[in-house]
Chains A and B, each alone.
Chain A
Amino acid sequence: MIINHPLLGPRDAAEFVYLGDASLIERPDGFGENAEDAMYDYVYLRDNPAGQHRELWYHEQGDRSWLVVTRNTLTHEITAIELARDVARSKGRSR
C-alpha cells in the first residue's frame, strides 16, 4: 500500500506503524462520570467495520507524524489522509 502523506507525498506503508481505529484520538476523561465504562469501551471495544475505516498510522521511519487514514478494509483503497493533529484540533483539542 502507498500512503500519500500530506506533507511528504506518496510513501510506502512499510515506513509506518499501524495503531488502530481513529476513535483512539478521543480518550475519555478518566475522572468523568462513568469513567470506568467509558475507559473499558475506549481501550478494548472496536467497531471493526467491513468497508470505510478511519485509522491511525504513525510515520515512524519518516517525519514521525501521526496520520488519520480513511481506508476501505475490503479493497485496501485509501480515500482520505489527514494529519491527526488537524483532526484532534477540529474536535476542540489543544494539540
Chain B
Amino acid sequence: MSGFDKVVPDYATALDGLRDNMTIIAGGFGLCGIPEGCIARIKQMGTKGLTVVSNNCGVDGFGLGILLEDRQIKKMVSSYVGENALFEQQLLAGELEVELTPQGTLAEKMRAGGAGIPAFYTATGYGTPVGEGKEVREFNGRQYILEQAIRGDFAIVKGWKADRYGNVVYRHTAQNFNPMAATAGQITVVEVEEIVEPGELDPTQIHTPGIYVDRLIQGSFEKRIEQRTVRTA
C-alpha cells in the first residue's frame, strides 16, 4: 500500500478504529447494494451502542438486521424500518431508538454532511411530526424547515467495481444511498465485487471519486432478494 492505493487486505483492517457508540452511515436500499462484508465484520466485532444511518435496517437474519441480534444498535436513522420481527420487538421494548426521516431528507442530510453544508431548508415534513421543533423559514411564500446534515465516524459502502485508487462505480439500482454515504464518513470503507487497476475504469463514468474513499476491500456478496417478483416469459 502506498500513495493513492486504498486497498486493504481484510475486513479487520477495513473497520479498524470502529468503537462503541460511534455513528455509521450505511449505503443500501432494502437489501439492495448493502455492504454485506462490513456488516458481518461489525457483528463479529461486537461493537455496541451504534447509531446507524441507513434507509432501512435489513431483515431478520440478513443485512443490518443481524446487528440487532446482539443489540449492537442503539439508534437507527431511517425512512422505513420494521421489516424484521426483532426490530419491532426491540423498538416496542424501548431498547432501540428510531429517528424516522423522510427518504429525500435522509439522502440530502448525507450529501450535505459530505459537502460541508451544516444544514438546509426543505419543504418536506413541514406541518408534519417531522417538522416539530425545527426552525421554520419562509422563502417565496412557502414554508420550509431546517434540517441538519449528518456525518458518520464510519461510512460503509457497497460498490460494483473500483480501481485501487478508490474510484467507484455502482451497478444498477444498487447505487441508491451509496454515493452519498461515501462522502459522509470520517473513514469511508468501500467493498466491491471487483478491484481493477487505475486506468481500467473510464474517468467519465466514475460515480464516487477516490478522494472520498479511505479503505477499499474486495468482498463477496450473497445479494439476497427481498421481493422476488417475476412475470412469465
Report whether chain A binds chain B.
no
- Enumerate chain B interface residues (CB-CB to A < 8 A): none
Which residues of A are interface residues toward B (Cβ below 8 A)?
Answer: none
